[in-house]
Amino acid sequence: MLRPPLPRDAGAARRIGLHPDILRMFGEEPEGEWRELTRDESAELLGALDPSVDRVTWVVDAGEGFIGSASLHSFSEDGARSAYAIGLLDPAVLGQGLGTEVTRLVLAYAFGALGLVELTVRVLEFNERAIRCYVRCGFIVDHREPDAVFLFGVNHADVIMRLDSVRYHQLATEWDEKPGPSS
């Protein structure tokens, strides 16, 4: 389910905490092992999900409460294009097809209700799970931006992927004919 943030999400965010493997996929060098978020960190995380004029953001809730977020951001001046981002923060939910399901829900909203003509997504080259998810959802590689992130002494590229409304609508018809998303 995609929904607005609720006060109860603070506790879930604190318990999920900071996982080194998740942080690495976001291009951050983790400091140490997993740890629970502080109250201030949890409030800051959820505060970033508050509605604004330049982005649409949701909490991802797989039935047990907050597990991450999804957003449309960086809208073009004419409102026809946007960037997409998803962050599943709980490693226990990875590999179950939730990223694909959430992405397809957001795509339906973006290309339906908002009438966008194109979406882009930026993903680090080593985040193979995310790249597979975006490909399943119809994104194609547009280009690479070399040396986007320096992690643990190594430069890594960002892969920029695109999906236009024509391709989306063709694929969405196929998705409707098949059972739910696969992992």
Assess if residue 10 is contained within a domain: yes
Contact present, 59 and 6 (Cβ < 8 Å): yes
User: What pLDDT score was predicted for residue 98?
Assistant: 92
Q: Which residues, in sequence order, are bridge partners of residue 88?
A: 68
Assess if residue 32 is contained within a domain: yes
User: What pLDDT score was predicted for residue 21?
Assistant: 86
User: What pLDDT score was predicted for residue 65?
Assistant: 86
Q: Which stretches of the chain score pLDDT less than 50? A: 180-183
Q: Kind of pairing, strands 154-164 and 81-88?
A: unpaired
**Structural domain boundaries enclosing 27:** 2-177
Total number of domains in the chain: 1
- Which domain CATH number covers 81? 3.40.630.30
Whole-structure pTM value? 0.88
Assess if residue 123 is contained within a domain: yes
Spatial distance between the Cα atoms of 104 and 93, rounded to a whole number of angstroms: 17
User: What pLDDT score was predicted for residue 41?
Assistant: 87
Beta strands in 12-153 (DSSP E): 55-61, 66-73, 81-88, 118-124, 140-151
